[in-house]
Amino acid sequence: MKVIISPAAINGVVTANPSKSAMQRAVAAALLAKGTTMIHNPGLSNDCLAALEVAENLGAMVKRLDDGIQITSKGVQPFYDEINCGESGLGIRMFTPIAALSEQPITIEGHGSLVTRPMHFFEEVLPQLGVEIKSRDGKLPLKIKGPLQAKDITIDGSLSSQFLTGLLMAFGSVADKAAITVKDLKSKPYIALTLQIMEHFGVKVRQDNFQVFHFDKKQEYRAKEYTVEGDWSGAAFLLVAAAVAGKAEVHHLNTQSAQSDKAIMEALEKAGAEILPGVFTMIVVKNALKAFEMDATDCPDLFPPLVALAANCKGITKIKGVSRLAHKESDRGLTLQQEFAKMGIKIDLQGDEMFVHGGTGIKGNVTVSSHNDHRIAMACAVAALTADGAITIENAEAINKSYPEFYEHLETLGGIVEREELKV
Ligand SMILES: O=C(O)C1=C[C@@H](OP(=O)(O)O)[C@@H](O)[C@H](O)C1
Ligand SMILES: C=C(OP(=O)(O)O)C(=O)O
């Protein structure tokens, strides 16, 4: 699908979409728990749907009800010898150690960009925990055979926190006394979110400075009611849209959330946007915007909205953490540079730093590509609001990975979105 976004002023109120990071973790916890869990405000993005299907294939019963999604489980008891994590990096890295709790051989598949994302971590770590594993040169498909035994282990956390999330979740249901030591952990707030959700479902982990994670006694996940928080990662695009093109009120955003991407507020403040915080509501209003500096090493998903913001800020914005972007749905440092260049915005990449030359005007009447990356599509859509003509985004349906409601929400706020379905 192509969408054409015309320049427009933003003004309106929306409720943030459910966080896929929180939803996927809750689905995993519900699978690991014995009993019936009810998930309210469930996410229905592609990554969330993939997590639900994986949970079903690993033994859970999933029912869609009017007030949420009900998951009934007896723990991991696979129905099939294959699971498919769709395009979700978190999904595959979290569910692989969980699937390995069973002794049944299981093939783990995915599609799209997931097929080229690195998984060699598992080949280094899982054999130390008693799991046999084969991959295609560190990539999908993975073939595993458990059962995983929780033991003291040291891992490298520099590529992604998602592997640690998977080990923590799996250890939570089998560890007696064990510790995971992590070297050079990145994206730490995502681990805080994992620990918070594990604790909600009855499993406590003692941690020292995000370096050592101790399991002190045998614990069990308990089936619970859980309400998925609003998604700061998706809302970041709407808040930036307001800062550059008008005003927006976004509901269901918790400023006390463990989500790393609430750091968008720090960037908006530095850039000079007007911010009116409320209880579970953020109001952002346009103001004169200036270049800012930000370290996004631990909140890498903020790069695309930060670039859309920086494009509208006078001066050169410096964002640190570019090396975290190489293995996302696209190589996001390069795709941002390439697509924003088409809109007349110069981006320099120097080592781990990105420099965005903003305030020079955004060029419209151009076609950009999402590179099948949801966050690139959303960043280009926000850039279009202040361009001097409409911007066509190819492969615009990429947003379904995390935020299927994105274009509707943009329209609710006053955005002008024309959809062109491809004719077959
Ligand atoms: O745990 C999670 O929910 C996520 C962790 C982050 O990945 P890294 O830990 O690889 O940075 C983030 O980029 C991803 O979108 C979601
Ligand atoms: C990188 C992302 O997700 P994941 O790694 O879970 O595929 C993302 O949502 O931007």
The CATH class that applies to domain 2-17+230-420 reads: alpha beta
* Cα Rg, the chain, nearest whole Å: 21
340 lines ligand 1 (CB under 6 A): no
Residue whose tokens read 């024309």? 418
pLDDT per position as a tens digit, 383-402: 999 999 999 999 999 999 99
Pocket test residue of 301, 327, 331 for ligand 2, highest count of atoms within 8 A of CB? 301
Question: Exposed e or buried b for every residue in 208-222, given b needs 16+ CB within 10 A?
Answer: eebeebbbeeebebe
51 lines ligand 1 (CB under 6 A): no
The CA distances from residue 98 to 117, 130, 149, 164, 167, in Å, are 19, 13, 11, 12, 8
88 lines ligand 2 (CB under 6 A): yes
301 lines ligand 2 (CB under 6 A): yes
Q: Do domains 2-17+230-420 and 20-227 have the same CATH topology?
A: yes
Pocket test residue of 302, 329, 370 for ligand 2, highest count of atoms within 8 A of CB? 329
- 301 labelled catalytic: yes
Active-site pick, 47, 261, 301, 373: 301
Q: Calculate how far, in angstroms, residue 328's C-alpha sits from the geometric centre of ligand 2.
A: 6
301 lines ligand 1 (CB under 6 A): yes
- The ranges assigned to domains in the chain are 2-17+230-420, 20-227
Q: Calculate how far, in angstroms, residue 287's C-alpha sits from the geometric centre of ligand 2.
A: 31
Q: Can you spell out the DSSP letters for 323-373?
A: GGGTTSSS-HHHHHHHHHHHTT-EEEEETTEEEEEESS-B--SEEEE-TT-
CATH code for the domain defined by 20-227? 3.65.10.10
Residues in the chain predicted with pLDDT less than 70, given as ranges, are 423-424
Residue type, 333: G
Task: Identify any residues that bridge with 13 across adjacent strands, giving them in sequence order.
Answer: 249
249 lines ligand 1 (CB under 6 A): no
Q: Nearest C-alpha to atom 15 of ligand 1 is from which residue?
A: 301
Q: Calculate how far, in angstroms, residue 339's C-alpha sits from the geometric centre of ligand 2.
A: 19
Name the token pair of 376: 């690139």
What pLDDT score was predicted for residue 322? 98
A 10 A CB-CB count for 332 gives: 25
What pLDDT score was predicted for residue 423? 63
Residue 93 phi, psi dihedral angles, 5° rounding:
-80, -25
Q: Nearest C-alpha to atom 10 of ligand 1 is from which residue?
A: 160
- Spatial contact of 105 and 134, defined as CB atoms under 8 Å apart: no
Bond before 18 cis per omega within 30 degrees: no
What pLDDT score was predicted for residue 197? 98
- Ligand 1: nearest atom to the Cα of 324: 11
Ligand number nearest to the C-alpha of 373:
2
Helix (H, G, I), strand (E, B) or coil at 243: helix
- Spatial contact of 43 and 88, defined as CB atoms under 8 Å apart: no
Task: Identify any residues that bridge with 156 across adjacent strands, giving them in sequence order.
Answer: 183
pLDDT per position as a tens digit, 78-131: 999 999 999 999 999 999 999 999 999 999 999 999 999 999 999 999 999 999
Name the token pair of 56: 């079903």
E strands in 30-115:
34-40, 61-65, 68-74, 82-84, 106-109
Question: Exposed e or buried b for every residue in 155-170, given b needs 16+ CB within 10 A?
Answer: bebebbbbbbbbbbbb
